[in-house]
Structure 1
Amino acid sequence: MVSSCCSLVLVFLALFLLFQPCTSSSSTCTSQILSKNRLFANCTDLPSLSSYLHWTYTPSKSILNLAFIAPPTSPNGWISWAINPIAPKMVGSQALIAYQQDNGLMTVKTFNVSRYSGFGPSPISFEVQEMEAVYANDVLSIFATIVLPKNMGPVLNQVWQVGSSVTNGIPNAHSFKDENLKSMAVLDLTKGETSGAAAVDDKRIKWKLCHGIVNVLAWEFMFPFGLTTARYLSIFQSAIPCWFYIHVFCPVSASLLGLVGGGTGLMLGNESKGVQHTSHRNMGIALIALVALRLLIGFFLRPKKEHKYRKCWKFCHHGFGYDITVLGIVNAYVGLDIFDVAKKWKIAYIVVLAVWGVIIVMLEAVTWKIVLDRKSNNSAKPCDGNEKA
């Protein structure tokens, strides 16, 4: 009886192992089972994108056998592992990219990533003797044998990435979320260590956050608030001259913040060779130009109230103000889209705008009622000449 039970357990165990997937993803690289039972001397859990690297390095021959494992963003997506001879960054990296071809078969191609977009399969600066891609259980694996140049190693700059789609054999752009921007590190092939991944792009991310926060504060709060006070408080005698000082302070402060935000944007652009966010950049330049023109008109070209050009001045002054507000709101949303923030932040942004809209509509209704009531009361009062008559 005991013998038959043991036999039954062994049968079930054999069936379980038989139907296990060739490549499995787990919380640590040491517990992974690779296809064809391939074994490597070292492995590491990469700090982002749920990725893992296995490798065996033979210094005497400068040969690196590796397996890179990561889940692509979608089943039709791609994964990439690369060596950058210069620094741990994307541009300049010599990449192995795996994806599914149109015929349904998996493939690995070499890519010389000389810029952020518009590149295709191409030779790289070191020899790749073997390449294979395996897809199982929503996880894609790259297996390769690389012959490193004699002047390279054992410390390498590695970059890895995942994407959601491929068009005509060209990987489409990956996401720009925090974990995508941090997918780079220094790899020591002999010690089996990775370092620097957590801090590689922290500074850049902080500057991006600074750029976004400063511009949102400038164009979504300070500038609209200055316009709001001018339009809805100026009708009250008791608010003079308080509304005027607020009206001056808020747009000027917004302009200064906008200059800081524009400066950080230019700095980020200069550090991102090959990345072009043309619409966002052009709208930002237009914003700065309109703000400078409005300040010039407001401070140095303002005619007196009784001047014949006063109406023309008011039309330009108000028109530029509304243009700046709308352009700032649109450009900030474009920036959120570029930064690829979580959906909840986009919803929060839209909710804030909706609240602003409701407040403006209410203030507009109240203001028009007060103005029309005053006109009605003034027209109902008899003039002094009629009274004497």
Structure 2
Amino acid sequence: MKVSFLAAILFSHLLSGFNGAAGANYTNSTCPTNLIVDTNTLRFPFNTSNFLCSSVWSYQNFILMYQQTSASVWSFVLSAPNNYAYIAIGFSNNGKMVGSSAIVGWLTNAGAGVAKQYYLGGKNPGQCPPDQGFLQLAQAPIIMLQSWRLYLGFQLNTTQPPSQLIYALGPQYQVPGSDNYLFQHQDRVSTSIDYVTGQISTSNGGWSALQTAHGAVSLAGWGVLLPIGMLVARYFKGWEPAWFYAHASIQTLAFGLGIAGVVTGFLLENDVSKNVSAHKGLGIGILALAALQVTALLLRPKKESKHRKYWNWYHHNAGRLALAGAITNIFYGLSLVGQDTTPWFIGYGCYLGVIVLVFLGLEIMKLVPNAACGSLFFIGPERIRPTLE
């Protein structure tokens, strides 16, 4: 009960981490002094003195400066720290990356600035050709460096730009080569902007409701309940038959949540921009092992059967393999999110640390069965194991 209560508390804290949102430091205001474009250094072919500023991605310190400079022309400057990677801003009609057009800029190894429009036709670099897209550019985009910040400037011929914007940061030290094809980004976020007020809206700091559901049920089932169920089966067999019903109930609930995690994962597949094939494959493999475990439970031989030892070997090792895969896939899935998941890594890591300590403590007690507490756990309150000779 103490372990389950601790797990519930920890999981509730982890779940609250999904609700963190990227805040806006500047909305509908003139740009801070340190972001004002020095016209002597950065010579954009348009006036930037009265631009409005919005903090569009606080985690990566992306700031968008913009202004409607005429009835049919909008001017933009995207500012971000120089991380030796490309920066990108995409305009989308539906909030998704695929099908949008983006302005991307970077500095070459020689320090020259390169900026181009890209049509984001798919998730692979080959599906995102340069110098294509639906944006009507007034002139070629420009990117420059000032005080260790990149400034990507461009103008659009439009009366109203799309309000669904996507921002991306490329992999560090991997800028496009001579063919100008992009490497897969290391991080991205989808937002919407009110051009009048400068207000930025994001979905839980970049997490959608479906991503929240996928992460929550997967973590609860595979990451939290599964090890507790294994703990009950290994160390509480003295409490016959309560241990069996507790073990079966916990693992069945974990299996149900795992199914929900896989289903939401399939629904998410077309909405994420990163390659999740490995994450998907691991998830399906874990679900298959769990399904075999449920099937094995229905076919469990009697204790006196000569086949019981083979069943035990399979059941125990398949469970361990499923747990190892689940833990690996949870951490891998968190790394794919692209947001600040450090609290999740720390929180789940602390939970695993507690579980490991509990396992170690109970294992020591199991190896010293004459101790009163060890006998109570492993033999049960009515049948205390005799002293070993």
TM-score higher than 0.5:
yes
2:108 corresponds in structure 1 to 101
* 1:251-303 per-position Cα deviation (integer Å, ceiling 9, x unaligned): 0111011111111111111333x54211111111011111111101102x112
The equivalent residue for 1:295 is 294
The answer to whether structure 1 residue 278 and structure 2 residue 286 are counterparts is no
In structure 2, what is the Cα distance between the partners aligned to 1:156 and 1:330?
A: 39
Decide whether aligned partners of structure 1 residues 26 and 200 sit closer, same or farther in structure 2, where only a CA change above 3 A counts: closer
Q: Report the Cα offset of residue 232 of structure 1.
A: 0.9
Q: Tell me: CA distance 1:302–1:292, structure 2 relative to 1, closer, same or farther (3 Å).
A: same
Instruction: Give the unaligned 5+ runs of structure 1.
Output: 1-24, 381-389
Q: Displacement of 1:325 after TM fit? A: 1.3
Which residues of 2 match residues 111-260 of structure 1 at below 5 A?
A: 111-118=118-125, 119-128=128-137, 129-148=139-158, 153-164=159-170, 165=172, 166-169=174-177, 170-176=181-187, 180-185=188-193, 187=195, 192=196, 197-199=200-202, 205-234=208-237, 236=238, 239-260=239-260
Aligned position for 1:304: 302
Partner SS, residue 119 of structure 2:
strand
| Amino acid corresponding to residue 268 of structure 2 in structure 1 | L
CA distance in 2, matches of 1:215, 1:280: 12
Query: Which residue in 2 is equivalent to 1:44?
Result: 52
Partner deviation per Cα, 1:97-151 (whole Å, 9 max, x = no partner): 1110122111211211112341342322344323322210222222324344xxx
Instruction: State the number of aligned residues.
Output: 334
2:43 aligned residue: none
Aligned-residue offset at 1:332:
0.9
Letter in 1 for 2:131: S
SS in 2 for 1:115: coil
Which amino acid letter does the alignment assign opposite residue 176 of structure 2?
N
Q: 2:242 corresponds to which letter in structure 1?
A: C
- Provide runs of 4+ in structure 1 moved above 6 Å: 371-376
Match of 1:365 in 2: 364
Q: Equivalent residues in 2 for 1:6-85 (5 A)?
A: 28-30=29-31, 33-36=36-39, 38-39=46-47, 43-49=51-57, 50-59=62-71, 62=72, 64-72=73-81, 74-84=82-92
Rg larger for: 1
Quote the offset at 1:193 in angstroms. 5.0
State the 1:322 CA deviation: 1.2
Cα distance 1:79–1:271, how it changes in 2: closer, same or farther (>3 A)?
closer
Cα separation, 1, equivalents of 2:249 and 2:115: 59
Which structure: greater helix fraction?
1
Which residue number in structure 1 is paired with residue 20 of structure 2? none
Give the secondary structure class of the aligned counterpart of 2:141. strand
Q: Indicate conservation of the 8 Å contact 1:41/1:55, yes or no.
A: no
* Aligned partners of 1:65 and 1:145 also within 8 Å: yes
Counterpart of 1:6? none
Amino acid corresponding to residue 84 of structure 2 in structure 1 = N
Rounded to whole Å, the distance in 2 between the matches of 1:307 and 1:371 is 30
- Give the TM-score normalised by structure 2: 0.75
Structure 2 letter corresponding to 1:154: Q
CA contact (8 A) 2:107 2:113 kept: yes
Q: Deviation of residue 194 (structure 1)?
A: 5.2
CA apart distance, 1:90: 2.3
Q: 1:356: Cα distance to partner?
A: 1.7
Is the alpha carbon distance of 1:278 and 1:368 closer, same or farther for their aligned partners in structure 2, counting shifts above 3 Å? same
Q: Sequence identity of aligned pairs in percent? A: 22
Instruction: Answer yes or no: is the 8 Å Cα contact 1:163–1:172 preserved in 2.
Output: no
Q: Which amino acid aligns with 2:75?
A: L
Per the alignment, in what secondary structure is the counterpart of residue 109 of structure 1?
strand
> Displacement, 1:89?
3.1
SS in 2 for 1:227: helix
Does 1:337 find its partner at 2:335? Answer: yes
CA gap 1:33/1:303 in 2 versus in 1, 3 angstroms: closer
Partners in 2 of 1:379 and 1:363 — Cα distance?
19
> SS at 1:218's partner residue?
helix
Give the Cα separation in 2 of the matches to 1:26 and 1:193: 11
Looking at structure 1, the residues matched to 206 and 117 of structure 2 have their Cα atoms a distance apart, in angstroms, of 30
Query: Cα gap change, 1:216/1:131 in structure 2, threshold over 3 Å: closer, same or farther?
Result: closer
Distance 1:41 1:89, change over 3 A: farther
- Shift, 1:378, TM fit: 8.0
In structure 2, relative to structure 1, the CA distance for the partners of 1:304 and 1:371 (3 Å cut) is farther
Letter of the aligned partner of 2:249 in structure 1? Answer: F
Alpha-carbon distance in structure 2 between the residues aligned to 1:226 and 1:201: 32
